[in-house]
Structure 1
Amino acid sequence: MLKYDEVATKMEAQIIADGLTQGDKLPKLTELMAKYAVSKSTIVKALAKLEQRGLIYQIQGSGVFVRRPKLDEHINLINNNGFTADMVKHKMTAKVLSLKKIAPPKDMIKYFNGDVKEVYEVKRIRYLDDQILCLEESYFKTSVVPFLNEQIAQGSIFNYVRELGIAIGFSDKYLNVIELSKKEAKLLELPEKAPALTIEETYYLTSGEAFDHSKTTYHFKNAKFFIQSTT
């Protein structure tokens, strides 16, 4: 993890721990530099990261302030932290349907720019406070994520990836509204042809290399979303 990402994560945790809300002011840059024992440029980058994620706003000459937190149980469609990091006040669990190494399916290769020979295919049901949240199908390049098992997949794969020192950068999202197939409906415990939002997402490292493509199909009764603009 890059140093400014590490500092941004610690600052976010501190904001939550201190119960800060809309308009609360953060310490000055010099105080933050001393607190986290890093340079000014690292603090500036960490603040930019938090601002991008909608956690703070900056007023030139006045300081840095906390933004109103999102409504509880709503999924941030912009950030790339994963459900576990985004829903810190809730219990996130997963049931692993399958996990195996395979040659990438032909329709997946395009998302990796053709530069992939083997992937981990992971299919899971994700639960939010014991309610079905979504069906998730992910493909991780084994050249980047060399090892996954069921125990890891039952938790947060993104947390595991970060613990490996892999820096997740940005993503592309593709949203569609569909009718559930018979198989999808059974897994989500919904009627066949019920409506569902699907999000296909390609995740990239900070180097720009695509390492994960996923398709997430959400339970229309249990999934809520929000977007915070930064301009």
Structure 2
Amino acid sequence: MYHEVAEELIQDILANKYTDKLPTEKELVEQYQVSRNTIRKALDVVFAHGMLRRVRGSGYYIIKKPLQSQTVLNLSIGFDKNSMVSGGPLRSKVVLFDVIEADDELARRGNVHVGEKMYQVVRLRYLKDKLYSLEESYFPRAVVPFLSQESVEHSIFSFLKEAYQITGNTSENYVHMQALTARQAELMERRKDEQIMCLDGINYLASGKVFNFSRTYFAYPDLALYYHTQSLDI
């Protein structure tokens, strides 16, 4: 239950329903009709996603996005959750949907075995009618036995949660510059070999199995990256 409350709070923050501070725990308990413990767990999730600052004795304050950027990619949330993208949801145009076997490069990138069968999904994604990204995603069939055409046209992660109760436990993200191939450049209406910012991501189940890995090439103007950290005593 607390996951649903957390997701709604995140969506409300992204939609600017709360622009400065969240209601008190007591007010949230009344609003969602759940226990205080559920609210506290939900707040922990939202905090871990980098949406809030805790101020002892005062409450939870909204972390405001940089003034110099219109669009912020919050790496603490995960760009694949299209309902979580500020200004979203994203609209998808499916370019390729197929079953392939992992070659050496994909096996290395996705931490899977060479020859492993997986769904390949290539999508152009749009935010406010502007190209946001080119997304190349892979889903090992040993973990994800079926993807529907409808799911790849909308939210794959929502489908996985509803159909298989698959939710990510941990993820690894790597931001780097990458040269576009001729095909990628054609799809994005860019130049071949143009260097563009991209994000490699691997998502794991609690068991340690990979259920998704992807490479996303970003095209949206004025895009900023944000991530959230906590101090650790080491």
TM-score, scaled relative to structure 2: 0.81
Q: Which runs of 5+ in 2 are unaligned?
A: none
Using the aligned pairs only, state the percent identity.
Answer: 28
1:27 equivalent in alignment to 2:12: no
Report the CA distance shift for 1:115/1:90 in structure 2 as closer, same or farther (over 3 A). Answer: same
- Tell me the secondary structure at the aligned position of residue 183 of structure 2: helix
Report the CA distance shift for 1:95/1:15 in structure 2 as closer, same or farther (over 3 A). Answer: closer
Instruction: Give the Cα separation in 1 of the matches to 2:121 and 2:176.
Output: 21
How far is the alpha carbon of 1:51 from its aligned partner? 0.8
TM-score, scaled relative to structure 1: 0.82
- Tell me the secondary structure at the aligned position of residue 169 of structure 2: strand
Match of 1:92 among 90, 93, 99: 90
Matched ranges for 1:146-185 at <5 A: 146-164=145-163, 165-185=165-185
Instruction: Give the Cα separation in 2 of the matches to 1:143 and 1:117.
Output: 8
How far is the alpha carbon of 1:27 from its aligned partner? 1.5
Amino acid at match of 2:130: Q
- Tell me the secondary structure at the aligned position of residue 68 of structure 1: coil
Report the CA distance shift for 1:229/1:196 in structure 2 as closer, same or farther (over 3 A). Answer: same
- Tell me the secondary structure at the aligned position of residue 168 of structure 1: coil
Which residue number in structure 1 is paired with residue 59 of structure 2? 63
Number of matched residues? 226
Measured on the aligned residues, the alpha-carbon RMSD in Å equals 2.7
Report the CA distance shift for 1:19/1:199 in structure 2 as closer, same or farther (over 3 A). Answer: same
> Is the Cα contact below 8 Å between 1:169 and 1:205 reproduced in 2?
yes
Report the CA distance shift for 1:107/1:191 in structure 2 as closer, same or farther (over 3 A). Answer: closer
1:54 equivalent in alignment to 2:50: yes
Between 105-114 and 154-163, report the one with greater CA deviation: 105-114
> Is the Cα contact below 8 Å between 1:132 and 1:222 reproduced in 2?
no
Report the CA distance shift for 1:113/1:148 in structure 2 as closer, same or farther (over 3 A). Answer: closer
Between 142-151 and 107-116, report the one with greater CA deviation: 107-116
Which residue number in structure 2 is paired with residue 104 of structure 1? 102
> Is the Cα contact below 8 Å between 2:10 and 2:84 reproduced in 1?
no
- Tell me the secondary structure at the aligned position of residue 32 of structure 1: helix
